[in-house]
A and B are shown apart, each in its own frame.
Chain A
Amino acid sequence: MAAYVIRRLAYGFGVVLGVLGLLFVLFFTVASPDDIARRALGEKARQSAIDQWKANHGYDRPLLPSFAEGGLRNNLLYDHYRRMLTFDFGHSDVDGVPIGERLARGAPASLALMIPLFLIEIALAIAVGLFVAVFRGTYIDRMGVFLCVLLMSLPILLQIIGAQYLIAKLLSWFPLSGFSRDPDVIARFLALPVLVGVISGVGGEVRFLRTVFVEETSRDYVRTARAKGASEMRVMLRHVLRNSLIPVLTRVLLTIPFLFTGSLLLEAFFGIPGLGGITVDAINANDFATLRVMVFIGALAFVVTQIITDVSYALVDPRVRLE
């Protein structure tokens, strides 16, 4: 088991290196430092202004390692890797604010949004999924599935706009947008984004979970449990759910990275100063430095989640444990 975890970690690290490589390609070669400078300064900037800008932002070194004197370390590639891996994120290309600081300020707000959203969505999805699976083939099932497809066909953008318009503007149940760190007030600001987030995501989750549950329900051991005289509820909870844990776990943990992206929109629309909002600002301002860091963080979170998923497989399914 320990060997397995170590192997997983090593491979995960390899993937992180790969991600950094991809980021380097995208942000240093496809869009070269000259391009970045031009986008910041304007297309018609003179070469001297570009060079100055590059020097200010640390882009004035050679791109790739060379065998010249000190060339192995004095280049952007090495820098990129070294700094990302040590979480030395540098400064924004646009306003020079240290990126690390910005992240630290934004993280709590994002977590305040993401964690309730995640928990509510999973609990709801599993409950509804089980419910619909019990009634498979009946009217309830068909309605449930149709509802899910309906939700999945409505782009999240429209759902946010619709929710803001209907609930905030027309009904005034919750504020349109905004945020507060005051624990008494924060719930009111988060209620609508969490609601929208859950509704937009739950459709796809329930569809998937239903499929898994229905498939498990048709297995032989469920027949055995029924033959023993177990009630349908017990069959679902003790047998079907337990046995579905691997796909359920996979799917649930897979939604974590989507919380990053969904939070992008939710934070932007609802004025929540979290990591998603930072990313959107970076996009609008062509702030490549910040954008690089955000993508890296997202990927890192994903890789860590994957490793946790794989390890938890072993905990959940005794068949995997003994490999």
Chain B
Amino acid sequence: MEAHVVGNLIVAALLALGLWAGRAIRKNRLWREALAEVWRRRWGSVLVIALFVGIALLDSIAWIGGETKGEDVVAANEARSVIDRAFAGVAEESYSAPLADVTFYEKFALNDPGGHLLGTDILGRDVLYRTLKGARVALLIGGFTSAIAIPLALLLGVTAGYFGGRWDDLVFFVMSTLASIPSLLLLIAIVMALGRGTWQVCFALGVTSWVGLSRVSRGETLKLRELDYVQAARALGVSEARILWRHIVPNLFHLVIITFVLLFSGLVISETILSYLGIGVDGSWGQMIDQARNELAREPIVWWNIAAAGTAIFALLLAVNLVGDALRDVLDPRTARERE
């Protein structure tokens, strides 16, 4: 199956997931009130996140064909997303300032004067276009990796805490070993070993980020295991799997959400560092920043590249962090008491 078809299916799956989650939340009063409170406090940030998610989704819906604006035939046979099509056919030769009519240094006339809202980069690509495409990459790095790392972390942590014994010893040892290597170094090591590429980077990011949640969920499970109603369930002969699923895991939800939010920004920032080192993901904002580093030294300076990417990262991460904090305040039973 081709890449773009997979992408389309994933978008469909995500939308379906979103609808299902929406309905599930509406039925559960606790969640409904919690989310309403988060919206009340941080609706701006929520909108920002929604914006980025929307852009990323638009960039993930791709198909082959349709009209092209004077490019080569190759482009017509490649899968292009909604965003790709919106910006088709506006490439320039080289740098140009935002909304300029001429190229920045040579002052040649542009193919699309005044049409580049954020200017163009060294290869003449529209900066706004590249910034929007970066949204998908960022969400891939942050969201997709978390979506893999978190269930893995939960699985290992909860089973280790619940069943104890040899399995716990093994998991704990693996956790200690991985945790002993400074995560950036481990990240670099894995990517160097696996080679460059989006999936390799995501895998490496996943491997280096599951340990934290795993340790915490193991600790929580150890505590939860001793609770009266869990003991009662075991005494009644309820199967272990059912106990785990119905009693232990739901108590970890608030932890999971908070971890997801914190992890997200950590992952995006890590990727920027990897991009700086030349082993990041293609098309990411980190790559834009890395490429833009040299531009600041020029006279006159080229600022719009790094400004666009920097603003985008900052806006997304700030929004995610603020919403995450609000979520944590609302869900954590202890701070909830303070509010009353």
Contact = CB atoms under 8 A, between A and B. Distances in A.
Q: Do chains A and B touch in the complex (CB under 8 A)?
A: yes
Interface of A: 11, 14-16, 18-19, 21-23, 26-27, 30-31, 145, 149-150, 152-158, 161, 165, 169, 215, 218, 257-258, 260-261, 264-265, 268, 279-280, 283-284, 286, 288, 291, 294-295, 298-299, 302-303, 306
Interface in B33-54: none
Q: What is the interface of chain B mostly: helix, strand, loop, or mixed?
A: helix
A156 B279 CA distance: 17
B278 A283 contact: yes
A153 B265 contact: yes
A161 to B, nearest CB: 6
Nearest to B187: A261
B272 interface: yes
B58 interface: no
Contacts of B192: 31, 283, 286, 288, 291
A264 B293 contact: no
A253 B182 CA distance: 13
26 contacts: A18-B174, A18-B177, A19-B177, A22-B177, A22-B181, A149-B321, A154-B314, A155-B273, A155-B313, A157-B272, A158-B272, A161-B296, A257-B182, A283-B277, A283-B278, A284-B277, A288-B192, A291-B189, A294-B185, A295-B185, A295-B188, A295-B189, A298-B182, A298-B185, A302-B182, A306-B180
Contacts of A299: 180-182, 185
Contacts of B183: 261
A161 B185 CA distance: 22
**Most chain A CB neighbours (cut-off 10 Å) among B174, B180, B190, B195:** B180
Contact of B181 (A30, A218, A264, A298): A298
Contacts of A218: 338
Contacts of B306: 158, 161
Interface residues of B, number: 46
Nearest to B277: A283
Interface in B297-340: 306, 310, 313-314, 317-318, 320-322, 325, 334, 338
Contacts of B313: 155, 158
Interface string B285-301: 01001100100100000
A147 B83 CA distance: 34
B181 A156 contact: no
Interface in B209-266: 265
Contacts of B193: 26-27, 30-31
Interface string B170-182: 0001101111111
A23 B181 CA distance: 10
The 5 tightest CB contacts between A and B, nearest first, are: A18-B177, A261-B184, A153-B317, A153-B318, A30-B193
A19 B318 contact: no
B268 interface: yes
Contacts of A283: 188, 192, 277-279
Contacts of A280: 277
